[in-house]
């Protein structure tokens, strides 16, 4: 077991075997009577493929994802989107009522939600608003992790909603500082839009880094709920023992494999470039509007925008049938909306609506 996993895994889970389902056994046969499944297919399933439980970790999909992210299959655990990965990490490394995590708000809310549902304390080191954007203070986060005894530190890169891209050398330095003391989790849900190397390239030298990836964004499978945790094999095995038996339904496996076929991946790469170009044009268009105070740089498929009157902007867009994310309830974002980068026509529609806001309202 790795140094970090051995040091940080909940003591009561170190010898925990988890639940071993009927599909966990490597058996072969022609008559399957070991899982109490129906002997008959459902009438809605003429192919009789859904009456059987799926593999806990479908090998074909695991190998395809490992190839996509350039890691070994043993370094990867498939789950129900990134959300399940976050929950599993908190479950495995935060003792109920005593664990701690470190985050940099405003950030993706599921880190804090999972922690609080598990009774873990959330240590906050807020993002700093500067000319460069909303930026995480990694040194301060590392110090907070050591001072509080946190076992998990969550980073989001590209950041949601900040759009910030964290340098890999800074992540590596943080991992070295926390080795054996804290696991650094890098959420790369929007990694494809950044077009830079992944934090998975750091895994060989850092056993206390885990990376979250998903097919929800760039691969357009949000409804399928396919994500994964990537890390040291010992970490993956520990998380697998904490996971429910059948996390990935068979129809979802088939949809994911189709999305990862060579021709589909080529189309996805082309679309990533199109999104980056549309993001730049949308940002330029927004910056030219009197109603806009600031557009933050973004490496994701969205822009964080401050408005003179965010309610006015939100209402105008909604009246035109355009739904954006109201960020005003989050710390530091009392005048901000988050706008996803849509098609070129959708982006033009956003700009056209916001251009109708009265100049007096932006004065």
pLDDT value at residue 17: 75
Read off the pTM. 0.93
Chain mean pLDDT for the chain: 93
**What's the Cα-to-Cα distance from 273 to each of 194, 269, 279, 359, rounded to whole Å?**
10, 7, 10, 34
Name every residue whose Cβ is closer than 8 Å to that of residue 68 and which is 6 or more positions away in sequence.
Answer: 260, 265
pLDDT value at residue 41: 86
- Stretch 282-299: mean pLDDT, rounded? 98
Alpha-carbon distance of 350 to 305, in angstroms, equals 12
**pLDDT digit string (tens) for 63-102?**
999 999 999 999 999 999 999 999 999 999 999 999 999 9
Cβ–Cβ < 8 Å for 55, 85: no
pLDDT of 296 over the 90 cut: yes
For residue 1, name the pLDDT band (cuts at 50, 70, 90). low
**pLDDT digit string (tens) for 29-50?**
878 777 887 888 888 888 778 8
To the nearest 10 degrees (0 to 180), the angle between helices 310-319 and 344-355 is 120
pLDDT value at residue 362: 39
* Domains defined for the chain, CATH in brackets: 3-260 (3.40.640.10), 265-362 (3.90.1150.10)
- Ranges of beta strands (E only) in the chain are 76-79, 100-103, 121-124, 128-130, 133-135, 152-156, 183-187, 209-214, 227-230, 292-295, 302-307, 325-326, 336-340
Alpha-carbon distance of 188 to 164, in angstroms, equals 11
Alpha-carbon distance of 342 to 231, in angstroms, equals 32
Q: Give the residue among 184, 179, 241 at the shortest CA–CA distance from 212.
A: 184
Q: Where are the alpha helices (DSSP H) in 71-221?
A: 81-93, 110-117, 138-148, 168-178, 191-194
**pLDDT digit string (tens) for 162-203?**
999 999 999 999 999 999 999 999 999 999 999 899 999 999
pLDDT of 18 over the 80 cut: no
Name every residue whose Cβ is closer than 8 Å to that of residue 216 and which is 6 or more positions away in sequence.
Answer: 81, 82, 189, 222, 224, 225, 226, 227
pLDDT of 276 over the 80 cut: yes
Share of the chain above pLDDT 70, in %: 97
pLDDT value at residue 359: 61
pLDDT value at residue 37: 78
pLDDT value at residue 363: 41
**Highest mean pLDDT out of 50-54, 95-99, 333-337:** 333-337
For residue 225, name the pLDDT band (cuts at 50, 70, 90). very high
């Amino acid at each position: 077991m790795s140094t970090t996993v051995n040091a940080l895994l909940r003591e009561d889970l170190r010898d925990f075997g988890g639940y071993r389902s009927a599909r966990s056994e490597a058996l072969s046969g022609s008559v399957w009577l070991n899982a109490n499944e129906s002997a008959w297919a459902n009438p809605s399933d003429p192919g009789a493929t859904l009456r059987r439980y799926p593999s806990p970790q479908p090998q074909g999909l695991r190998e395809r994802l490992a190839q996509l992210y350039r890691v070994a299959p043993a370094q990867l655990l498939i789950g129900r989107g990134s959300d399940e990965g976050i929950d599993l990490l908190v479950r495995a490394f935060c003792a109920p009522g005593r664990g701690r995590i470190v985050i940099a708000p405003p950030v993706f809310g599921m880190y804090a939600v999972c922690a609080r549902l598990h009774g873990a304390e959330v240590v906050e080191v807020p993002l700093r608003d500067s000319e460069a954007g909303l930026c995480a203070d990694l040194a301060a986060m590392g110090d907070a992790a050591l001072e509080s005894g946190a076992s998990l530190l969550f980073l989001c890169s590209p950041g949601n909603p900040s759009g910030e891209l964290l340098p890999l050398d800074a992540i590596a330095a943080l991992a070295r500082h926390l080795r054996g003391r804290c696991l650094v989790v890098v959420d790369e849900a929007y990694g494809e839009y950044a077009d830079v190397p992944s934090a998975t390239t750091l895994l060989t030298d850092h056993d206390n880094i885990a990376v979250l990836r998903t097919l929800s964004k760039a691969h357009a499978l949000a409804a399928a709920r396919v994500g994964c945790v990537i890390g040291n094999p010992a970490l993956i095995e520990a998380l697998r023992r904490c996971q429910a038996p059948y996390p990935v339904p068979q129809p979802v496996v088939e949809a994911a494999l189709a999305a990862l076929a060579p021709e589909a991946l080529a189309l996805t790469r082309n679309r990533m470039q199109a999104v980056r170009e549309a993001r730049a044009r949308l940002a330029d268009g927004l910056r030219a509007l009197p109603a806009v105070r600031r557009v933050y740089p973004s490496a994701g498929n969205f822009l964080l925008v401050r408005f003179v009157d965010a309610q006015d902007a939100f209402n105008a867009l909604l009246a035109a049938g355009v739904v954006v994310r109201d960020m005003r309830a989050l710390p530091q974002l009392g005048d901000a909306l988050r706008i996803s980068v849509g098609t070129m026509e959708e982006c033009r529609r956003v700009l056209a609506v916001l251009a109708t806001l009265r100049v007096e309202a932006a004065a």
